[in-house]
Structure 1
Amino acid sequence: MACNSSDCSSGCSGLKSENGSKSDGSSVGDGSIRESVCVKCKSNEPVFFADGASEDGKFCSDCFRNNVFGKFRLAVTCHAMITPSDKVLVAFSGGPSSRVALQFVHELQKRAQKNYEASRDRSLPVFGVGVVFLDETAIDPTLSGEINDAIELIRTVVSSLSPPAKHLHVVPIESVFGLDSAEARDRLQKLLDSVSDDTGMEDLLLHLRMLCLQKVASESAYNRLILGSCTSRIASHVLSATVKGRGYSLSADIQHVDARWKVPVVLPLRDCVAQELNRLCRLDSLQIVKLGHPHSGINGLVSSFVALLQEENPSRECTIVRTAGKLTPFYFNKIPEIDDSNVPLATRRRQKRFNLKYNEAMTTEYFCPICCGPLNKSDVSNLSESEGCQDIEVFYAACCSSCRFQILPHGQASIEQFYSLIPQQLTSQEKLQKADTQTLLREKIEDCLLSDGEEEI
């Protein structure tokens, strides 16, 4: 019942009218409160996106955008993702997440450029930015027309973000093999055809994309690789990795920084949900590219499940990521301390404050050659037992249990064919770990070895 007393002491802030609105202008007729002014700045009108979110109609356009950008900037500064002397490469798929990541990185670079021009001594250089797009026409030739249109749109988007100028790398995914185009495409198709499991083939493609991005970054002298992975995508990865038996290596994939790669990978949008990024693209009219990459198998089921959870409760994705964030990170998720004099003192202080604490007992130098996931003790034991075997047997032993089950084919002949088709980076990593295994074995028996000058008793 509506309050109609002038001396009401119940604490209500206004009166309900017959049409279901309060005297302050907010509507309550449909059971939800819609503010007449932004809840943050208390002056501008809020924006309504009509997407069913609980926060719809709470913030004005400026406050909403500042809120999303604030999450991005906090992640960048607290974890020292971008420093003045860096050269960063933004992985751009064309979707809302990578589009927002590119836009925000551009704005940081633009502000740094203004500060550089305004300073007298030019003490802080401006970090460089590059953009990379992977052309996956070789995977699905039927999408060649859409991909060509997407590339032209991406060129327009990147060129519109200057100055400072940003170099665009359009790289075919088959270039990861280091062969000529025709031979590389044939090899890629044979490699994918050798994986019978839909989930395994999708995961293998994900690993090949990372190898290709790392190849571009290292060859072009970038020292940071920025991905647009957001809370929504990480939440799906948490559940799918658990189902696939990747629980041990899960904490390595969900941190802000992943330095197990030659070029460290950073996730500045880790604390932003997909709904926020979609809204921002519509609000700022950011052009996005829609390419068909439907999930299949376990990944598709988990994505649908998480989307359903999010509809029922908008905080589910954040809850999943926060819960997984309690897992102990690995040593390569720990931010290395920066001694560069070009890095502001405030950034270095934040870095020490937000440095992750990891369990030294989880330190490992052994990674699966396919997914690059850290190996647990049982997998390392299998790798040690394979010492002296053929390269294929060592490769099989070096793979984690999930990759052996989901990706590797069954049968000796099929495994040999798979081994002959994979990129050289994977086999070279396996050979490196084979050499490390010899060092590990030597360390185990070091007390039993005779040093030079000692005689056997």
Structure 2
Amino acid sequence: MSCGTSSCQSGGCDKYDVQPCSPTKPSSTVNSRRRQLPQNPNICVKCKVNDAIAGGSGGGEDGRFCTDCFRGSLFGKFRFAVTSNGMISPTDKVLVAFSAGACSRVALQFVHEMQDKAQKNFDASRDKSLSVFSVGVVFVNETSALGVSTVEADEVIEHVKAVVNELAKPEKLLHIVPLESIYELNPDDDRERLRRMLDAVGDSTGKEDVVTHLRMLCLQKVAVENGYTKLVLGTCTSTIARHVLSATVKGKGYSLPADIQYVDARWQVPVLLPLRDCLSQELSTLCQLDGLKIITMANGTHTGINALVSSFVSLLQDENPSRECTIVRTAGKLTPFSFNRLPDIDDPKELLAFQRRQKKFNIKSDESTPPESFCSLCNSPLHDLDSSFGSFAIEHLSTESFGTTCCSSCRFQILSDNQLSMDQFYSLLPQSITSRAAVSNSSDNHIMLREKIQDFLLSDSEDGN
């Protein structure tokens, strides 16, 4: 049925609007009618063609995008983090830490796809000017620390081997190392020493934190010994959100910005977090969609701060799916440290590319930041209040002096007030920790001495040179 105006060609306006068409604004009327047409909520918001993923949680992008767009969006976040921060260069040798869980599985898959694309570009190029970065995979077996059965551990290791072998070329070298290998003695003595050291820590949260610190030392050991230049972790938004709250509760607020950035170069081999903007729910969904097999090693029941915070954040996420992102976004406003960027680049071509990235993404480097002092146990940057504990001269590092080189959180959660337990714990520490404490203490004493005689030193303009 027509609305009666001479300009109307619809023949039935009353199906969409009870008001007659206005002959003076036909285009706006058509647009308003289109807006009133019912929309299909199951259509992908990006391509608007395919159906969105069914059963999405709504907290991330699953449930808004179709399978292809969902995967493309996650890989886009990963690629943007790598590109904007200059994480991987053609000459790099990248080591991916693989735990067989969803996050590290996606990290391994995305790094492999980047390498595969670089290899195809290299094969297609005529001048072969850009080489292809190599990739290795490391799995840290924490059976001795977690008390997992040998059968279960062997099952996880076989799964890890199968995943790496199934990846297409270029081939990846797989490193499977036990956590106790940081002692470098013999397997039986190493396991016993690790167990005794963990038994000397009375606090359950402290034990978990020690295992975390030892894991990083183990990853660094593998990376250094095999010549890797970058270490990629599968740490995601969900993991960082939990770390933000747990670190705050433990009194590690000062060092918190160091752990949540894309790049952490305080270690000998810089650590990269390319999945920092992805939720664990999204990564698990991607594993299901792409058939990426994952397996989780049982690690017992935890009752410490880390477990309580994890449960609390899970409840928050169930109530409001944007809570994890909000926590990380809020913590991201903290000022990062000077080591939260990659060190200076010597290669002219890579340096030019890095400078272009800085200009494009408005990256500002703060080279005026003074060097940091680090905790001998967890390697967290020390606040002035923490470092003041070690401001007296010590000729030889001892059990008592070791505590002065640690942060307040480690002193409270890990180090014991009982002298016998403390002596046992210190005697069982790996050499990599005790040697770092000695170097840190020597450096602190040097800085303290220089500050005391600063008034008597000649400046460059006064020494006559």
What is the TM-score of this pair, normalised by structure 1? 0.89
Other-structure match for 2:363: 355
Q: Which amino acid aligns with 1:393?
A: E
Shift of 1:348: 4.0
Letter in 2 for 1:178: E
1:172 corresponds to which letter in structure 2?
P
Q: Distance in 2 between matches of 1:44 and 1:340?
A: 45
Which of 294, 303, 316 lines up with 1:309 in the alignment?
316
Distance 1:166 1:186, change over 3 A: same
Q: Single out whichever of 299-308 and 430-439 deviates more from structure 2.
A: 430-439
2: distance between equivalents of 1:450 and 1:244?
A: 41
Conserved in 2, the CA contact under 8 Å of 1:77 and 1:347?
Answer: no
Letter in 2 for 1:422: L
2:105 match: 99
| Residue 47 to residue 344, structure 1, CA distance change in 2 (3 Å) | farther
Q: Which amino acid aligns with 2:386?
A: D
Q: Distance in 2 between matches of 1:66 and 1:178?
A: 43
* Aligned partner (choices 433, 448, 452) of residue 445 of structure 1: 452
Does the 8 Å CA contact 1:177/1:423 hold for their aligned counterparts? yes
Tell me the alpha carbon deviations over residues 39-67 of structure 1, each in whole angstroms, 9 at most, x when there is no partner.
11122222213546475542111110000
Task: Tell me the residue number matched to 1:410.
Answer: 417
Displacement after TM superposition at 1:339 (Å):
4.4
Q: Distance in 2 between matches of 1:195 and 1:358?
A: 39
SS at match of 1:168: strand
Shift of 1:292: 1.4
Find 1:150's aligned residue among 144, 147, 156: 156
What is the rounded CA distance, in whole Å, between the counterparts of 1:175 and 1:390 in structure 2?
Answer: 24
Contact between 1:84 and 1:342, CA under 8 Å: does it hold in 2?
A: no
What residue identity is the alignment partner of 2:94? V
Alignment correspondent of 2:16: 6
**Stretch deviating more after TM superposition (57-66 or 338-347):** 338-347
Aligned residue type for 2:430:
P
Measured in 2, the distance between the counterparts of 1:44 and 1:426 equals: 54
Structure with higher Rg: it is 2
Superposed counterparts of 1:42-121, under 5 Å: 42-51=48-57, 53=59, 55-121=61-127
The residue matched to 2:350 in structure 1 has which SS?
A: coil
Shift in Å, 1:156: 1.1
Alignment CA distance shift 1:354-1:278 (3 Å): farther
Task: Please tell me whether the aligned partners of residues 62 and 282 of structure 2 are also in contact (alpha carbons under 8 angstroms).
Answer: no
Give the aligned partner of residue 424 of structure 1: 431
Could you report, residue by residue, the CA deviation over 1:330-369 in whole angstroms, capped at 9, with x for unpaired residues? 11113334342453955541245353555956x3431111
Q: Match of 1:180, as an amino acid?
A: N
CA distance in 1, matches of 2:354, 2:272: 16
Q: Any idea what SS the aligned residue of 1:371 has?
A: coil
* Comparing 107-116 and 150-159, the one that deviates more: 150-159
Equivalent pair of 1:88/1:226 in contact (CA under 8 Å): yes
* Structure 2, unaligned runs of 5 or more: 1-12, 19-28, 459-465
Give the distance between the partners of 1:61 and 1:415, measured in 2 at CA: 54
> Residues 298-327 of structure 1, C-alpha deviation per residue, up to 9 Å, x if partnerless?
000100111111111111111100110111
* Contact 1:201/1:407, CA 8 A, preserved across alignment: yes
Q: Is the 8 A contact 2:96 2:137 kept in 1?
A: yes
- Per-residue deviation at 1:391? 2.3
Q: Deviations over 1:187-209 (max 9, x none)?
A: 00000000010000000000000
**Superposed displacement of residue 147, structure 1:** 1.5
How far does residue 289 in structure 1 lie from its aligned partner after superposition? 1.3
What TM-score results when the alignment is normalised by the length of structure 2?
0.88
CA–CA separation in structure 1 for the residues paired with 2:34 and 2:415: 64
For structure 1, the 5+ residue unaligned runs are 16-21, 27-33, 452-457
User: 1:202, 1:296 within 8 Å by CA — same for their partners in 2?
Assistant: no
- Provide, for residues 182-228 of structure 1, a one-character-per-residue CA deviation record: whole Å limited to 9, x for no partner: 00000000000000100000000000000000000000000100000
**Bigger CA drift: 153-162 or 82-91?**
153-162
How far 1:161 moved relative to its partner? Answer: 1.0
Superposed CA RMSD in Å reads: 2.3
1:138 partnered with 2:144: yes
Q: Is the 8 A contact 2:264 2:270 kept in 1?
A: yes
| Identical aligned residues as a percent | 54
Deviates further, 378-387 or 396-405: 378-387
Match of 1:375 in 2: 382
The amino acid that maps onto 1:182 is D
Q: After superposition, give the CA deviation of every residue in 1:213-262 in whole Å (9 maximum; x if it has no partner).
A: 00000000001000000000000000000000000000000000000000
- SS of structure 1 residue aligned to 2:313: helix
Measured in 2, the distance between the counterparts of 1:205 and 1:402 equals 15
The structure 1 residue matched to 2:328, chosen from 291, 305, 321, is: 321
Among residues 396, 404, 413, which one is paired with 1:397 in the alignment?
404
Q: Which residue of 2 aligns with 1:300?
A: 307
